[in-house]
Amino acid sequence: MKVIVAKTAGFCKGVRDAIEITMEAIQKREDGEDICTFGPLIHNRQVLMMLEKKGVVEENRIENCAGKKVVIRAHGIPPDSRQKLHAQGSSLLDATCKRVARVHAAIKRHARRGYHTIIVGDTDHAEVIGLMGYTEGRGVVINRPEQVAELPSEWKDVLLVAQTTQNEEVFSEIEAAFLKKYPNGIVKNTICDSTQERQAEIRKLCSRVEAVVIVGGLHSGNTIRLAEVARDCRIPTFHVETENELDREKMARFSCVGVSAGASTPNWIIRNVVEFLEALRPEDESQFRWKMILERLAYSNVYIAVAAALLPLISQAMTGFRGSFAYCVMAAAYVFSVHSLNIYLDQDAICLNDPGRAAFYQKRRTIFTGASLAALGIAFLVSLSVGPESFFTLLLLTLFSLSYAVPMFWPSLWERFPVKLKDIPTSKTFFVPLAWAAASVILPYVSSGGALKRLVFAFWIVFLLALMRTALLDFLAIQGDRIVGKETLLVLAGERKTGRFTIGVLVALVVSLMLGPSLGLSSRFSYFLVLPAAVYALYLKTGAEKRLSEDPVYEILIELVLIGSGLCALIWNVVD
């Protein structure tokens, strides 16, 4: 089955901000501190269950929030509820969506001037309840154009706003009726841009597919609107929270299905739905089979091992030091081993970012553990043949890598310090490239006796290449990392700042590569590595536009940059 995924599917900025605020509160939680949300943080049961496992409970009664740290839900709350929470001694963290907060401000500003406020929305929706709290008792909620005629004609100062997740076409019809009745009334289209984009994309998508699946909470306003828009296009529409709610036989009747999702729906849930649909009746059996093979190779860390095996050749090409096949074996075995072992020591985010991969690892736990230990044993045997310096370097690297997810100290003795390397901010982003660079430069060439400055330069270049790889992969894993609290640079700094940082890394890489030969720090092979840097720049620009179902394929493309660089280095070393 062909599946077309809407580009706008998944978390909106307001939801991302709410989750980040909550995760930051969890990470900074003091002993004995209770954290709760006043009402559901967002309208997605799966995310709320994840937060509950981390000790963030949902409270719907103000008295139950007394003395707790309270996260204000993304939908916002009425001002009197906020005052009551303060009076109860609650410490408030405001996760109200900025778009919703702007509607609060508009209503409040006009209410103070005596305006009546008409809200286009659902009376019992959490956002609308919050909006009504700012109307000073002069607010009314409608959701149909004919209701405008029922409003008092004597109102002079009237404001029309909308629930941010309202249907754009319905609001336009109500606006026309409103201006006809209240010519001097003020209209503020407060429907979120993200909502408008999603609805517009659904209309276009419906013209290209036979059916549409809308993924998201059954009580999520914006998700319900997406389903309404699709049904208005007279196309079979299925609104589900997970793939388990889809009827296999019914969906198998279609050959092309569109998928979109509400603003509170995580990528991993969307991906599950996409994979379910694609597996029903593949449009091209051979293409589908090859895609599955590529995904399984990515899951098995084969590409990682091949890339690591070729990195020492890049070091050799840049430094001019004599290389050996043993160097490639050491690097590949070490990287494969620690990556595979750490999967089982730290797999929470994998379950969220890629459930298919998590299931793959769980099913083959014994095989992966055995292969990892065997690879590590091979790495140590080869390092002994290379020299004692390489052996002890590998020992230190192994201890460093395994300590990523294993406590280094007793928590009771180090209460104010991270007890695991993964608990150090940005550890995932920077420690992996450091380990890769050490395995491909220091480990093989520590016994070479070559010029130290060339060794340092090669380490710097390989580190930057691996850092680019890790940063790009972090963009794929951001939602799961946010939920489990993994402190990558992307989670801590946000997507925009991380994008700027990654561009800075690219600039540093290119400048270093161009200056290396002239400064006597490397051979002219450095010039060839500008091409992989350019490919990484292209991936950075287009990666966010990749379909959610293609994440493993995109991951393979990222790994192929290093593999291609290593093969060029191999040719260089043979010819030079």
Give the per-residue SS3 of 266-335. Answer: CHHHHHHHHHHHHCCCCCCHHHHHHHHHHHHHHHCCHHHHHHHHHHHHHHHHHHCCCCCHHHHHHHHHHH
The tally of CA atoms less than 13 A away on the side-chain side of residue 94 is 12
End-to-end, the C-alpha distance of the chain in Å comes to 50
C-alpha 360/C-alpha 356 separation (Å) is 6
CATH 3.40.50.11270 fits 13-96, yes or no: yes
* Residue 118 confidence (pLDDT): 97
Residue 144: beta bridge partners?
none
Asked if 127 is an active-site residue, the reply is yes
Specify the pLDDT at position 458.
92
Among 352-356, 557-561, 567-571, whose mean pLDDT is lowest? 352-356
Across 391-402, average pLDDT: 85
Phi-psi region of 94 (alpha: psi -120 to 50; beta: other; left: phi over 0): beta
What's the pLDDT at 14? Answer: 85
Strands annotated E in 355-461: none
| pLDDT given at position 194 | 84
CATH of domain 100-191: 3.40.1010.20
How does DSSP classify residue 94?
E
List, in order, residues 6 or more apart from 296 with CB less than 8 Å away.
360
Query: What pLDDT is stored for residue 240 in this prediction?
Result: 94
- Which residue matches tokens 């991951």? 555
Mean pLDDT of 512-530: 93
pLDDT score for 168: 87
Q: How far apart are CA 545 and CA 60, in angstroms?
A: 38
pLDDT tens digit sequence for 19-69: 888 888 887 888 778 999 998 888 888 788 888 888 888 998 999 999 899
Q: Would you say residue 343 has pLDDT above 80?
A: no
Count how many residues are written for the chain: 576
Q: Shortest CA distance to 270 belongs to which of 215, 218, 322, 312?
A: 215
- Is there a shared CATH topology between the 13-96 domain and the 100-191 domain? no
Q: What residues are paired with 142 via a beta bridge?
A: 120
In Å, what is the CA distance from 1 to each residue of 9, 145, 491?
19, 40, 34
Q: What percent of the chain has pLDDT over 90?
A: 43
User: Which span out of 262-271, 341-350, 383-392 was modeled with the highest average pLDDT?
Assistant: 383-392
pLDDT tens-digit series, residues 434-443: 988 998 888 8
Q: What is the CATH number of domain 195-293?
A: 3.40.1010.20
Average pLDDT, the chain: 84
Taking only Cα atoms into account, the Rg of the chain, rounded to an integer number of angstroms, comes to 28
Pairwise CA distance, residues 343 & 484, whole Å: 15
pLDDT at residue 412, rounded to an integer: 45
Centre a 10 Å sphere on the Cβ of residue 391 and count the other Cβ atoms it contains.
20
Which pair of tokens denotes residue 561? 């940059």
pTM for this one?
Answer: 0.65
Which backbone phi and psi does 117 adopt, to 5 degrees? -115, 125
349 has a pLDDT exceeding 70: no
Q: How far apart are CA 242 and CA 217, in angstroms?
A: 9
pLDDT of residue 348: 57
- Report, as an integer, the average pLDDT of 276-301: 71
Under 8 Å between Cβ of 263 and 15: yes
Adjacent-strand bridge partners of 259: 5, 213
pLDDT at residue 312 greater than cutoff 60: yes
> What number is the average pLDDT over the span 345-366?
69
User: Residue holding tokens 């006597």?
Assistant: 520
Percent share of the chain, pLDDT over 70? 85
pLDDT score, position 13 = 82
Per mean pLDDT, which range of 158-167, 176-185, 338-347, 544-553 is the poorest? Answer: 544-553
Give the model confidence (pLDDT) of 93-107 as tens digits: 999 999 999 999 999
Is the pLDDT confidence value at 313 over 60? Answer: yes
What confidence score (pLDDT) does residue 472 get?
A: 82
Could you tell me the pLDDT band of residue 147, with boundaries at 50, 70 and 90?
A: very high
pLDDT (tens digit, 9 = 90+) per residue, 1-17?
Answer: 788 888 888 788 888 88
**183 vs 151: CA distance, rounded Å:** 14
Residue with tokens 């059954």: 218
Q: Could you tell me if 46 and 480 are in contact, meaning their C-beta atoms sit under 8 angstroms apart?
A: no
Average of pLDDT values for 84-101? 91
Architecture label for domain 304-575 = Orthogonal Bundle (1.10)
- The pair phi, psi for residue 319, each rounded to 5°, is -90, -30
pLDDT tens, position by position, 406-428:
555 544 444 444 455 666 666 66
- Per DSSP, 151 falls in state S
List the catalytic residue out of 24, 63, 127, 228.
127
Q: How do the domains of the chain map onto residue ranges? A: 13-96, 100-191, 195-293, 304-575
Helical axes 452-476 vs 495-515, angle rounded to 10°: 150
